[in-house]
Amino acid sequence: MKNMMLLLSFIALSSSAFADEKLDAEIAQIQHDWARANYQTPKDAQESAFKTLTEQAHQLTTNSANAPEAMIWEGISYSGYAKAKGGIGALKFAEKARDLLLASEKINPHALQGSAYTSLGSLYYKVPGWPIGFGDKKKARSYLEKAVQINPAGIDTNYFYADFLSEQGDYAKAVEYYKKALAAPARAGREDADAGRRKEVEEGLLVAEKKL
């Protein structure tokens, strides 16, 4: 009986590990597809690319029983789709992204090093405010500061906070965080995303420095 219990425990642990590895691999594929859609796809083809990506990400969320990591990437995918689509018609996709990110935060706010906070912050400062959309600069700052607290050396956390600060006219502080983004360590397996993001960081830094 004792041996049987040990065997069952081993099978359960092995199954859990396999499930985690499978989810990690599927998220990695979504990440590469996102980088391709965001940085390597012509502007006139991005809407279609992101639409396909949202469908793939939604399937991953469904298959993973709403794992917060999958929900975050579905939210990021919808955010990209909203940006590519543009106009009033994009608002419903931005709202979908927000709802997914908020739901993932409730499950595990530290999932993927607090990525939900980074994405929520960017949504709240990029989406128009009332009465058109849900944009809110105060919420944006709060989420972005939480993201930086959780992942102070991350390229995305520092870039989005710097971009927000630059939009608010706080160019000196923006330069500080753009430089932190440039100093961020490379992410294994995210070379395509890092290359595109670093270019955005450099462009933002140049603009902010000229405003000083």
What digits encode the pLDDT tens for the residues 149-201? 999 999 999 999 999 999 999 999 999 999 999 999 999 999 999 999 999 99
pTM above 0.85, yes or no: yes
- Tokens representing 121? 């912050």
**Concatenated DSSP letters of 97-154:** HHHHHHHHHHH-TTGGGGHHHHHHHHHHHHS-BTTTS-B-HHHHHHHHHHHHHHSTT-
pLDDT digits (tens, 9 = 90+) for 123-158: 999 999 999 999 999 999 999 999 999 999 999 999
Dist. CA 118–CA 31, nearest whole Å: 16
Residues 6+ apart with CB under 8 A from 154: 113, 118, 147, 184
- Look at residue 18 and tell me whether its pLDDT is greater than 50: no
Query: What's the number of CA atoms in the CB half-sphere (13 Å) around residue 12?
Result: 6
